[in-house]
Structure 1
Amino acid sequence: MSNWLGSTYLWVKAAHVIFVIFWMAGLFMLPRYLVHHQDALGNPGEAAKWVEREAKLRRMILTPSMILVWVLGVMLATNLGLFDGAPNLGWLHAKLLLVVLLSGYHGWAVAYAKKLARGQATLATRTLRMINEIPALAVTLIVILVIVRPF
């Protein structure tokens, strides 16, 4: 199915990049929200505001963007011949692994937000702040893989 997108390839690629940016913005925001939410657990009114903010972020940006990133990304990967056994796609396999891990991180962050909504903080604030850096590391590696294509 290589090149099945034809002349729409660049449009699909542009949409993919746009929704990656939206998803990453959400993944940069949600963990920081979690830190503030956890700090606010002693103040029920403030904690409730964080629950609402996190839910809106998930509903309006995070989940829709992640779904579109995956749909468009699978289209692009199919167009490159991923499922046809095309050669020289080691970089794409590595990128997909990182995107799977980033999706898992997304799921973890959503689950932790729901834990905080129940008043259950299980991580130290410092640990939570350090975990915030995972999306930045992942996107750095992904961009290098896509642009440089080292293997």
Structure 2
Amino acid sequence: MLWIKAFHIVFVASWFAGLFYLPRIFVNLAQEKNSVAVERLLGMARRLYRFTSLLAVPAVLLGLWLWLFYGFSGGWLHAKLALVLLVIGYHHACGSLLKKFERGVNTRSHKWFRVFNEVPVLLLLAIVILVVVKPF
């Protein structure tokens, strides 16, 4: 079971790396006016979103496997699962924002994306604290 836990941690860390960087590309897209640079950034964002989506699947599946094997329970687990659902929602929101950039209909400023970029950091911090400390 330690192998499952190790791979879960690797996939979660990799998934979050993508979630940390993709909104940073959005910041640059929201600022950029040069069409060549925009196309390059869009290409990067598309590839990163696809790759990050592929990393999310085993992260979630391995997490479910751990949950079923260990049979964790308690308030901390319910809070963690709620936060994981928020992470999945954030991931899908990134996909929706990417589609808006692709269609050229983004209405958000680079400042908004700078704040949006901090959300996964806060989610990861809360999740790690819940898993390690189990405060309730």
| TM-score of the alignment, normalized to the shorter chain, above 0.5 | yes
Letter in structure 2 aligned against 1:44:
S
TM-score (norm 1): 0.86
Unaligned runs of 5+ in 1: 1-8, 83-87
Structure 1 residue runs of 4 or more that deviate by more than 2 Å after TM superposition:
none
Unaligned runs of 5+ in 2: none
For residue 40 of structure 2, the aligned residue among 43, 49, 56 is 49
CA distance in 2, matches of 1:44, 1:116: 12
Shift of 1:116: 0.7
What does 1:67-86 correspond to in 2, within 5 Å? 67-81=57-71
Shift of 1:56: 1.1
Q: Which one has the largest radius of gyration?
A: 1
Structure 1 match to 2:18 = 26
CA distance in 2, matches of 1:139, 1:119: 31
136-145 vs 118-127, which moves further: 118-127
Deviations 1:68-90 (A, max 9, x none): 111000001111225xxxxx422
User: How large is the Cα RMSD of the aligned pairs?
Assistant: 1.1
The question of whether the paired residues in 1 share the 8 Å contact of 2:26 and 2:110 is answered with no
Q: Does 1:39 align with 2:34?
A: no
Identity over aligned residues, as a percent?
A: 40
Shift of 1:133: 0.4
What does 1:104-119 correspond to in 2, within 5 Å? 104-119=89-104
